[in-house]
Structure 1
Amino acid sequence: MAEVNIQGTLSHPNIVKLLGYFHHDRELILVYEYTSKRLLNNHLFCSKIRPLPGDIRVKILTGAARALTFLHSSDTNIIFRDVSTSSILLDEVLLSAVYNTKLSGLGLARLGPSVDESHVKTHVVGTFGYIDPEYFKTGQCNSKCDVYGFGVVMVEMLTGLRALDSRRPNGQENMIHWIKPHLYVIENLEVVMDSQLNGRYPLEEASNVAQTALTCLEDEPKMRPSMKEVLETLEGITSLSLSTSSVISPR
């Protein structure tokens, strides 16, 4: 019901359409538009799927940022509360190789604070690895919680690493905790970039994405940008596409 009440009132090209709902026996069913390329996390972490090129990754991030900017606007004032690569669906644009981003799963979303409030107090929900640490400690939620989760998604897109992975070496299970220092310096960034890109990306633009992610991951929520500011930055980054002037050669 929460998803119907919120998503049923929204219309945006980067938010998956809720077509209807019905019940079968005791099961309540939600019906969404079909997205042919399915979940983003499958494309990042499934070895059987062809890796996403760098330029497509930036376009996907830009589409997700547009959706979150729309949700955070004064007209809608919605906090998504579960930004992750599992909440981003991909649809293929007809007669092209371009993917269209579709944010999905607004069941945990809720209205943001009123004009005279800085946050709303809620039970902590979301996907571990993407939850804003301050929100986790206090239960105080505002749009900057979504910004933090989006920062984690940006780092996953750069590195090809899951936010949480118990199979990694001790101390590296939580990606953000150990990888943040590598994002500050271009030379270190090269070491942690997704190996599936085979070095085929403009280093300067990859660094710009990394720097934007770092601002989203600031410990103090007030220091983070708004999603509108993040969107403007991503739109200013042309792409991580192959460039003859700044591509790292595959090793």
Structure 2
Amino acid sequence: RRTAPDSAPESDSFKARKFTLAELVDATENFKAEYFLGEGGFGKVYKGRLQGTGEVVAIKQLDRNGGQGIREFVVEVLTLSNAEHPNLVKLIGYCAEGDQRLLVYEYMPLGSLEDHLHVRRASRKVLDWNTRMKIVAGGGEGVAGAAKGLEYLHNKMKPPVIYRDLKCSNILLGEGYHAKLSDFGLAKVGPSGDQTHVSTRVMGTYGYCAPDYALTGQLTFKSDIYSFGVVLLEIVTGRRAIDNRRTGPEQSIVEWAKPLFKDRKKFFQMADPALEGQYPVRGLYQALAIAAMCIQEQPNMRPQIADIVNALNYLVSQKYDPKIHPIQSPGSVHSSRSLKRDSEEKFDLGFGNEEKLEDLV
């Protein structure tokens, strides 16, 4: 049964609970300023505590700016009510009362990946290499990373879903840096049967949006793969997707990275300076190789998410160990030896090449 874009889903059809506005006002003490967590897609997000159960939650209050917000609300409820995966933020419930539209999610105590990568605070430590790889790929005790959430949407959901807004601010972190995808208001049911794409108004975030989608409005699963490549580049380099403090090609992480990808001797220049050389050289090469394949101009050159997950499973096993891996610095004896060893292996990388992902890693 389809739900009209200007209506709210009926509670008996979904796992998500229907809340009254009064319950959510109580949970946030009338949306008290000190409970404000930040701006999410199409609205403000507050921390709350549900009366009765005492459960701590995140409550998104959608902007009351007309039909667009209502459509995003319905899409998000429909998508997350039918999804169940450890790498997707759990939708606990919703409220549709008068002109108010609110969504209630599980609370993610460590905030977003964007906060940890790009917002420096004295109380927050720099993400080390192993934690970064855990966030994107998972690792240890069967913990999966953000890539597994995307794989679930593409390959396991019925019908499959194109996320359309993958970015660092939409990857939220729970205890132990467990990563979950959030904000599904732009999600779109993917093409099926003989269809190759879904034609739609271009929406998403500048810097993460695939060039083919931006130009044609033709949305495919490979549109998400491009965005994933940008996120992986941010994780490895510590740069923002778009940085307006820089000038020219340096503003765009993709434009900055392209010439560096053509010369593997320059790969170490792409490592986040905040890592202070504490990363495995082979792991750095593999992560950059995967990112490079994801941001290929031609969508058919980008790998499938299942191939990326397989490559990341291998990558995450390349943990950094200070007892084994020397600190890398440009021109150091260790760095030169590592680069020479890696360059002698089959690791040809360039834009427009046709090598399979597994050949690169």
TM-score normalised by the shorter chain: which range applies? over 0.9
Quote the residue 2:270 is aligned against: 192
Distance 1:187 1:14 in 2: 35
Deviations 1:112-164 (A, max 9, x none): 00121111101111110000000100011110000000000000001100000
Q: Which amino acid aligns with 1:80?
A: Y
Greater CA drift, 70-79 or 155-164: 70-79
Deviation at 1:191, TM superposition (A): 1.5
Quote the residue 1:95 is aligned against: none
Quote the residue 2:336 is aligned against: none
Quote the residue 1:133 is aligned against: 211
Q: Is the 8 A contact 2:83 2:157 kept in 1?
A: no
Quote the residue 1:42 is aligned against: 115
Q: Is the 8 A contact 1:21 1:30 kept in 2?
A: yes
Whether 2:154 is the aligned partner of 1:72: answer yes
Q: Which amino acid aligns with 1:22?
A: C
Deviation at 1:231, TM superposition (A): 0.5
Q: Is the 8 A contact 1:54 1:239 kept in 2?
A: no
Distance 1:46 1:217 in 2: 25
Distance 1:181 1:246 in 2: 27
Distance 1:244 1:196 in 2: 20
Whether 2:323 is the aligned partner of 1:248: answer no
Superposition map of 1:61-140 within 5 A: 61-62=136-137, 63-73=145-155, 75-76=157-158, 77-92=160-175, 98-140=176-218
- Please state whether the residue corresponding to 2:104 is helix, strand or coil: strand
- Please state whether the residue corresponding to 1:196 is helix, strand or coil: helix
Deviations 1:157-210 (A, max 9, x none): 011000001111333111111222223444312122111101000011111000
Quote the residue 1:14 is aligned against: 87
Quote the residue 1:59 is aligned against: 134
- Please state whether the residue corresponding to 1:106 is helix, strand or coil: coil
- Please state whether the residue corresponding to 1:29 is helix, strand or coil: strand
Deviation at 1:28, TM superposition (A): 1.2
Distance 1:121 1:247 in 2: 50
Q: Cα gap change, 1:188/1:61 in structure 2, threshold over 3 Å: closer, same or farther?
A: same
Q: How many residues align?
A: 246
- Please state whether the residue corresponding to 1:136 is helix, strand or coil: helix
Distance 1:89 1:74 in 2: 21
Distance 1:189 1:59 in 2: 21
Deviation at 1:107, TM superposition (A): 0.6
Deviations 1:11-37 (A, max 9, x none): 000000000011466321100001110
Q: Which amino acid aligns with 2:179?
A: T
What do you get for the CA RMSD once the two structures are aligned? 1.6
- Please state whether the residue corresponding to 1:86 is helix, strand or coil: helix
Q: Is the 8 A contact 1:22 1:30 kept in 2?
A: yes
Q: Is the 8 A contact 1:202 1:243 kept in 2?
A: no
Distance 2:319 2:236 in 1: 10
- Please state whether the residue corresponding to 1:89 is helix, strand or coil: strand
Q: Cα gap change, 1:75/1:40 in structure 2, threshold over 3 Å: closer, same or farther?
A: closer
Deviations 1:65-106 (A, max 9, x none): 1000010015431000011001100001xxxxx311110011
Q: Structure 2: 5+ residue runs without aligned partners?
A: 1-73, 138-144, 331-361
Greater CA drift, 180-189 or 151-160: 180-189
Q: Which amino acid aligns with 2:168?
A: T
Quote the residue 1:150 is aligned against: 228
- Please state whether the residue corresponding to 1:214 is helix, strand or coil: helix
